Structure formats: structure tokens, C-alpha cells
Amino acid sequence: MSASGEKSGDFKWRTFTAWLLLAACLLAVWPLQNSIDRERGSGPDVMLTLLTGSGKRLRQLCLGYDGLLADIYWTRAVQYFGRSRLKHADVMPLLGPLLNLATDLDPHLLIAYRFGAIFLAERAPLGAGEPQAALQLLRKGIVANPGYWRLWQDLGFVYYWDLRNYPAASRAFLAGSEQPGAMIWMKTLAAAVAAQGGEDRTSAMLWEQIYLHPGNDEVRRSAADHLAALRAQTELRQLNVLIERYRQRQGRWPDSFAALIVAGYLREIPRDPSGAPYVIGKDGKAALSKASKVDLSLAH
Amino acid sequence: MNSISRVATIAVHSFKESVREKVLYNLVGFALLLIAAAILFGSISVGIQKTILINLGLSSISVFGLLMAIFIGVGLVAKEIERRTLYNILSKPVARAEFIVGKYLGLLVTLVINTAIMALGFYAALYYVTRQFVRADAIALEAIYLILLQFAIVVGVAIFFSCISTPVLSAVFTFCVYVIGNYLADIRWFGRENGSVLMEKLTHALYFLLPNFANFQATSLAAHGMRIPGYLLVSDSLYALLYVTVLVSAAVLAFEEREFK
Amino acid sequence: MWAVETIGLTKDYSAGFWRKRPLRALDGLSLRVEKGGIFGLLGPNGAGKTTTLKILLRLVFPTAGSAQLLGRDIRDISVHRLIGYLPENPYFYDHLTAPEFLNYMAEIFGMGRDARCRRVGTLLERVGLASFQKLPLRKFSKGMTQRAGIAQALINDPELIFLDEPMSGLDPLGRREVRDLILGLREEGKTIFFSTHILGDAETLCDRVAILHRGRLEGLGGMQEILSREVSSAEIVLEHPSPELVELAKSLASSVVRTGERVRMVIPEAAQPERVLAQFLERGAKVVSFNEVRNSLEDYFMERVGSPARAPDVRSAHPPAGGENP
């Protein structure tokens, strides 16, 4: 390298101009890019609209890179989902097509089916609210991966939780339990769903199985939230029984759980699954405190 | 003899030189072949023949033009360094900056002409399929213009890498920048979701530092006969102009420092 | 004003991939070359000749020191208008013909169409390529490429011409042609600065030489002074010497070489060759020849560059060196 001090005037002038142009144009690119982004909407969504074609045709066109492309679309689907959730979007019109594309490209991309089953079916704003699309995706997955019983579990789950079609759910669990390697509790589930569909205990059992299976973090977090809600709902029901009992004995509503402790119904202030104490509302019923992180709507 | 006429001389010569590259004819030939194949391809899928032709035609122009931009961009600068033909030029009263700017302009002219040839082939195929031209067909021309703007940036990237690296590596780097430049928005999103402040800052910086090729995507709009918004044509032109200036300046700075051992 | 003036020109290359360590290619070269005439830069391979030329032409930048061409700093490339340069082992755009290539070079100098045409025609004639107008450069032989390179170096009718190893790769006829060309340029009053490791070429062409070894200037002088230095030794050849005579020879001579029936020895000036000769004759030796050994450029070169052990590649790698001494 030449020492920078030994360049002639002409050379210096050119270097200076080049640096100036470089810096000025780079600085100008910034606001311009922002303006383009604003006008186009957020960048990738424009791209996403291009991708609603048929994955099968795409697969023939992508020269053997279908696996990679499937992964890209799967990533896109997750990103799209995350962004829609952040924006509290009411609809996620592209989630289904994206998952379909990813699974068309790679029919063995199991995570896409399982993820799709949960979040396509879930009501907005937690999911896309398209249980029928979820069923379709799962059926496609079952055809492509006949030996994988977990997809039957998911199918049954969508029937149970989102469509409240307990006979169909039971049939799905039963079909899954007959697959090689299926867990024994699938049979129990089939029976329980048939007999006591709609009860918290059955629902909690279903969510627990999803929570226990290692896989997508998003799915597990969602399962944990649902479980907490279900548990809180059960606990609230039990607390209301105690409050009712207190009222019958004492002839008045308790103003707090402390009163129930004094009366010997409770040993300590009860806490919900997120650790916040339960409170007694103005109507005299047990309720979640404001600090609670549990979302009761998740328990239906 | 002033700077401008020396730049022009070098530009004209590099254009003449690139015209003699056989690889160029092969690529243009392939592109035309693919456009012709789109006619057949479209005829077996009912109803969307024209859409397929536009999609496939514009995609082939984009892909083969991209290959050309990389090949001649790298070939005509890095090769000149590697083969030492540059020694003759630099021993003449030619500033290094003049050489780079001249080369860039020469390659740009080559690309414009090749893209024009491919566009002609595309419109010939379109006419063959529809037996008419409608006003909406002009949209494809706008899409081709946006594709050409991308080529202008790619050639700049290729020349920049040629100034600091070997021909093979330059080609690889240029291709990588093109691919990354198509996914910049995703990369920034990853950075934001990552949770680490450093990652977020880094990906944010990358978003503005690397050329954003996603700005130029309009093929699908054209395929569905949707107008490309005027603001996009203007802002994309401006973006390409700014970014090419950045690249050529960077190439000049690197080239001024480069020693030819 | 000097044609070429360098002051303490130094160049370090960094070698090694991971740990860069500097490699000094040129070490404080200070040199002045007058206008007019032929200046030879001599030295074994790797001595720094090409580096010197590349620094002067701004292809590499000096680590330290400065240089001027025709009174202008080398950083001012407008001086390139007045100079010509033939790189070592030149390579040109292989798809062009010689006239196209020369035309391109002439265009860079801003010559008009007619002037270009005339200049290109003259030059092709001069370097003997006039009959190869249609042949692309990639089909040129080594010698033809070299001549095309010389033509492009002369395109702007330069005052100062740098030629890096102009004779390398040429057959004897080609070398003769290039030599005549260089001499012709001197007649026109140009300054020619050329590098070579072939001492014979330098001896026949140069007015002045500089000797470079391992990046250092080891000698500088006019060819006349170098060749006309005083006689330094004599060579005596004996036929069928007796063992006793051989012993005597070994005690007096600086070197004794036996070839077949003859023994050749070199007697240094200090040992008084005439007296040694008398001694041999007294003892009845059969003296075949007695010659004064005149200094050649090669001797000067060896003296400056050092013993053959220090610069082994000079003799072994280049057998023609010194072969054309008078």
C-alpha cells in the first residue's frame, strides 16, 4: 500500500470525489428505501402474494431444490404468522396457501402439518380461524405420511377443540391409535372424547399431550397457555363452590378469600397458574386478578 | 483529449470486446429458446397461456440477463487484471477511475442491447400467441425496464468485486449478493425477531447497505396485467442510479489502491 | 532534467497468507538516467528490475522514496503521454488484430482517424508485422507478440521508452531485429530504459548500465569505462605438462583447469604473468597460448553481484550470458 501522504493533487481530488459520492448516495439510499417500503407495504408481503400458485407445478420447476424451497416457504409461513400475530390481524389469508405450498414442495415436512393444524384452526387473533383448511391440510399430510399417527391426533384435536364435533374427533383418535407406534393413551382419548366430550378434564388431557410432545416452540407455548386457562377455569369453578358454601353457612357473601381462610375453608390465598392470586369480584364470584397472565377465553 | 473522451473510448472498446464473447450469444440463444418453449408450455395449460408466457418470458430474461451481467461484469475487468492486458492501458495517460467508469458504461450498453434482443423475442412470442397487441402489453416493457435496472446494479457489484478479488470469487460473491439482496427484508425480520439488539442493528444496517433487489419485483404484476405504479418506476430508477454510483465509487476507490504485482 | 530520477525508492511486498511478513523487493534505489541513449538495468531474476519499472509506471506504489520521469513526479500520470512501456511477457486482447489493437491504443491518446491510420501503418511496418493485418493476436507467436508490444509502446512517439525484458523468448533472428529497432530509436534521440538478465544484449546495446541485486543497486556506470578498465589477468595454456609443472602452476595461478592433455590457468596481475611464463619456458613446458584477459561486462557483473555462490542463478540458469563477448 502506498503511504496516503504521497498522492498527487489530481489523485487526491479523484479519491475525495469518490468518497463523497459513495457517502452521499449511501445516505440518500436510506430514505429512498424507506419510501419504497412504505409505498409497497412492508416488503415481503408483496412477494408473498406471488406465491399462491400451485406448489406441485413449482416443484417441477425448481430443479431439484424443492426441499430447500419447501424450507423457505415453511420459514415464510412461520414469519407471516408471527408478523400477523404481532399486528393482531383479524385474518391471515396467506397462512393456508403458504403451508400448502411448503407441504406440496415437501410432502414429508411434518412440522408444517402440525403447526398448520393448530394455528390454521385456532380462532383469530390467535390463529387464522380456518378449521376446514386445517382439516384439509391434515388429510393431505395423512395421505402423504400414512404411518405417522400424530397427524391423526391433530386431526382429532381440530374436530374436538375447534369444531366441537366429538364423534368425528373420537373416530380420528381411534384411527390414529391403530397406527404402528401410536401411544396407548390415544385409545383412552378416543373413549374419553366419545363419552365426555366438552369437559375440561378431557380438554386438558388433549392439550397436555400436545404440550408434552417436543416440537415447535410456538405450538408448545400455545398449549401451555390453553392448559393454564383450562386449569384456571376448573379452579374458579371449585372456588365458587366454596364461596357458595360460605354464603349458606354465614348468610352473607365473603368480601375476600381471607374470610374463607378464617372460616377454615382455605389454608392460604389461592393462586392461578400464572402465580397471581385469585380475587372475589363485586358480584361475589371468584375471578382472576388484574395481574394475572391467564387468558380465560382460551378455555372456551 | 479529455477525461470524457477517454472514458468513451474505453466504453466503446469494452462493448466491442464483450460483443465478441461467445458465451453472450449462447445465453441470449437460451433465453429466446425458453421464451419459445413458453408458447408450448402455455398451450397445455388452459386459460392462462398468456400469463404463463409473460411469467416465464420475463423470468428467462431476468435469469439469463443476470448470468450475462455476472459473466461479462467479472470477465471484462477481473480477466483484464489477471491477464495483464491492463498494464498497457494504465501505462497510457488513463486514470484508473476513467478505466472503471469506461468499463462500466461499456458493459451497461452491452446489457441494454442484449436485453432489447430478448425483449423483442418476448414480444414476438406474445404476438404469436395472442395475434394482437393490446395496451396492457406495454406493462411487460415496464417490468423489463425494472429487470434492466437490476442488471445495472449487478454489473456494478461484479465490477466492484473484480477490483478486489479473482474472477471466480468475484462471480461467486456477485451471485451471493444478488441472492441476499432478494431476501433483505426477511433478513431484517429475522434480526428483529432474534431478540438480540446487536443482531437487530446489524441486520438493519445490512438492509440499507446491500442492494435491495426486491424493490424491482414486478413480474407477477405484469403477468396479471396490473399496472406497475408510476412511483415505483421513478423511485426504482432513482434507487438504481444511487446504488450504481455507490458501487462504481467503491470500485474506483478499491482500484486506485490496487497494486498489480 | 533527467529522463529518470529515483531517490531512495523502496518497495516491500507482504508475503504469506496468514501472517504477513514484508519482503523487500527494492531497497533504497537511487538512480539518475540522462536523456538520450540506452540505459540497461541488469540483474539476476528477482533482483527487482520489474518492480522498478512497475513503480515508475504506477502499477505498484513505492513503500518509500520518490521518482521523477522527465522532470515530473510519477504520481502525475499525465507524463504517460510522453512515455512508452512494454511489460514483461506481454499479453494483449486476443480477439483483436494487431491494427485494431494499435488503433485502440492510439485512440486513447486522442489521435484523429487519419493520424491513427498513418501511425499504425508505419509502426506495423517498422516492427515487421505489416503482413499480418488480419491475424488475431491470439494466433501470434511469442516473437510476434513481443513486436506488437513494442509497437504499442511506440504508438504515441514517446520520448522515453521502458522495455521490460524485450528480448526474452525471442529466437536469435528476432533478437537481432529488436536490437536494431532499439538502436534505431536511439538514433532518433529517444531515451530507452530496458531491463534484462542477458548480459550479452546489454553489452552490445547499452550506453550505461545499472546492476541490481536483491533489490539493491550494486553498480552503475558507462559501458566504455567498464570495458576499458585495465587488464587484470592473463591466461596460459600448457600442453602435456609434467606433474612438477602442474604443481608450480597451482602455486601461482588463481585457477587451474585440466581439459584432456591441456592445462589452462589464470594468472592474476599481482603474480606477474610474464615472469610466470618465463618460468614455464625455462622448465621446458610446451606453452600453447598466452592471452591477456580483458574485462567484460560479465566480470564486472560478477564482481558486483558477488561470487557465483552468492548468485548461483546467473551462470547456471542462463548459459548464453557473456557468450557473445568480444
Contact between B120 and B57 under an 8 Å Cβ cutoff? The reply is no
**C203 C-beta neighbours (distance < 10 Å), count:** 24
Q: Which residue of B has its CA nearest to A30?
A: B208
Report yes or no on B187 lying in a domain.
no
Q: Which of A1, A14, A28 sits opposite B257 (nearest CB)?
A: A1
Q: What is the pLDDT of residue B115?
A: 92
A7 and chain C in contact, CB less than 8 A = yes
Report yes or no on B191 lying in a domain.
no
A6 and chain C in contact, CB less than 8 A = yes
Closest listed residue to residue A233, CA positions, set A273, A265, A290, A283: A273
Q: List the alpha helices (DSSP H) in C13-166.
A: 49-56, 98-108, 113-127, 142-153
Q: Which residue of A has its CA nearest to C55?
A: A2
User: Residue C217: in which H helix or E strand, if any?
Assistant: strand C216-222
Higher pLDDT, A183 or C58: C58
Whether the bond between A125 and the residue before it is cis, its omega within 30 degrees of 0, is yes
Report yes or no on B194 lying in a domain.
no
Report chain B's C-alpha Rg in angstroms. Answer: 20
Helix (H, G, I), strand (E, B) or coil at C3: coil
pLDDT tier, C38 (very low <50, low <70, confident <90, very high otherwise): very high
pLDDT tier, A24 (very low <50, low <70, confident <90, very high otherwise): very high
Higher pLDDT, A86 or C325: A86
**Rounded Cα–Cα distance for residues A258 and A282 (Å):** 15
Q: Which residue of B has its CA nearest to C109?
A: B1
Q: What is the pLDDT of residue A2?
A: 38
Contact between B258 and B163 under an 8 Å Cβ cutoff? The reply is yes
**Rounded Cα–Cα distance for residues C179 and A27 (Å):** 58
- Return the minimum-mean-pLDDT range out of A51-65, B18-32, B246-260: A51-65
Contact between B251 and B160 under an 8 Å Cβ cutoff? The reply is yes
Q: Which of B6, B17, B260 sits opposite C59 (nearest CB)?
A: B260
Q: Which of C58, C91, C104 sits opposite B84 (nearest CB)?
A: C91
Domain of B176, in residue numbers: 3-182+217-257
- Return the minimum-mean-pLDDT range out of A44-53, A220-229, B11-20, C17-26: A44-53
Among A4, A14, A35, the residue to mutate for chain B (most B Cβ within 10 A): A14
Q: What is the pLDDT of residue A99?
A: 85
ipTM of model: 0.83
Asked if pLDDT for residue A66 goes beyond 50, the answer is yes
- Return the minimum-mean-pLDDT range out of A140-144, A215-219, B57-61: A215-219
Cβ–Cβ of B88/C85 closer than 8 Å? yes
- In chain B, residues with a C-beta closer than 8 Å to the C-beta of C108 are 1, 6, 9-10, 89, 92-94
% chain A with pLDDT above 90: 3
- In chain C, residues with a C-beta closer than 8 Å to the C-beta of B88 are 85, 87, 90, 92, 105, 152
Q: What is the pLDDT of residue C316?
A: 35
- In chain B, residues with a C-beta closer than 8 Å to the C-beta of C109 are 1, 92-93
Report yes or no on B150 lying in a domain.
yes
**Rounded Cα–Cα distance for residues A126 and A225 (Å):** 11
Residue C254 in grid coordinates: 588463481
B45 and chain C in contact, CB less than 8 A = no
Rounded to the nearest 10 degrees, the angle between the axes of helix A9-40 and helix B197-209 is: 110
Kindly write down the DSSP assignment for every residue of C225-274, as one continuous string.
HHHTSPP-EEEEEEES--HHHHHHHHHH-SEEEEETTEEEEEEEGGG-HH
Domain count, chain B: 1
CA distances C106 to C6, C57, C100, Å, are: 29, 18, 10
Asked if pLDDT for residue A156 goes beyond 90, the answer is no
Interval C9-21 mean pLDDT: 77
Which chains share 3+ C-beta pairs under 8 angstroms with A? B, C
Q: Which residue has the cell 400424530?
A: A150
Q: What is the pLDDT of residue C315?
A: 36
Residue C36 Cα to chain centre, angstroms: 17
Q: Is C289 exposed, middle or buried (0-12, 13-18, 19+ CB in 10 A)?
A: exposed
Number of H helices, E strands in chain A: 13, 2
Interval A166-193 mean pLDDT: 80
**Rounded Cα–Cα distance for residues B91 and C92 (Å):** 14
Cβ–Cβ of B193/A82 closer than 8 Å? yes
Report yes or no on B207 lying in a domain.
no
Handedness of CA A32, A38, A44, A50 (dihedral sign): negative
- In chain B, residues with a C-beta closer than 8 Å to the C-beta of A98 are none
Q: Which residue of C has its CA nearest to A2?
A: C61
Higher pLDDT, C28 or A284: C28
Residue C61 in grid coordinates: 506504489
Closest listed residue to residue A56, CA positions, set A98, A105, A94: A105
* Largest Cα–Cα separation, chain B: 63
Residues contacting residue B58 through CB under 8 Å, at least 6 positions apart? B122, B140, B143, B144, B147, B219, B222, B223
Contact between A234 and A281 under an 8 Å Cβ cutoff? The reply is no
A15 and chain B in contact, CB less than 8 A = yes
Sheet of C255-259, strand order: C255-259, C262-268, C233-239, C286-293
Instruction: Give the distance from residue A5's alpha carbon to the nearest chain B alpha carbon, in angstroms.
Output: 13
Report yes or no on B107 lying in a domain.
yes
Q: What is the pLDDT of residue A49?
A: 42
Sheet of C216-222, strand order: C83-86, C160-164, C191-196, C37-42, C208-213, C216-222
A11 and chain C in contact, CB less than 8 A = yes
Task: Express each pLDDT in B84-137 by its tens digit.
Answer: 889 999 999 999 999 999 999 999 999 999 999 989 988 988 888 777 787 778
**Rounded Cα–Cα distance for residues B125 and B106 (Å):** 29
Among A4, A7, A8, A14, the residue to mutate for chain C (most C Cβ within 10 A): A8
- In chain C, residues with a C-beta closer than 8 Å to the C-beta of B91 are 57, 59, 80, 83-85, 87
Q: What is the pLDDT of residue C113?
A: 92
Q: What angle do CA B81, B82, B85 make, to 5 degrees?
A: 55
Higher pLDDT, A87 or C36: C36
- In chain C, residues with a C-beta closer than 8 Å to the C-beta of B93 are 77-78, 80-81, 108-109
- In chain B, residues with a C-beta closer than 8 Å to the C-beta of A22 are 245-246, 249-250, 253
Report yes or no on B123 lying in a domain.
yes
Residue A292 in grid coordinates: 394475572
C75 and chain A in contact, CB less than 8 A = yes
Cβ–Cβ of B87/C59 closer than 8 Å? yes
Cβ–Cβ of B235/A32 closer than 8 Å? yes
Helix (H, G, I), strand (E, B) or coil at C39: strand
Closest listed residue to residue A36, CA positions, set C311, B93, B88, B231: B231
Report yes or no on B230 lying in a domain.
yes
A16 and chain B in contact, CB less than 8 A = no
A19 and chain C in contact, CB less than 8 A = no
Q: Write down the mean pLDDT value for chain A.
A: 77
Q: Which residue has the cell 372456551?
A: A300
Cβ–Cβ of A79/B186 closer than 8 Å? yes
Cβ–Cβ of B88/C57 closer than 8 Å? no
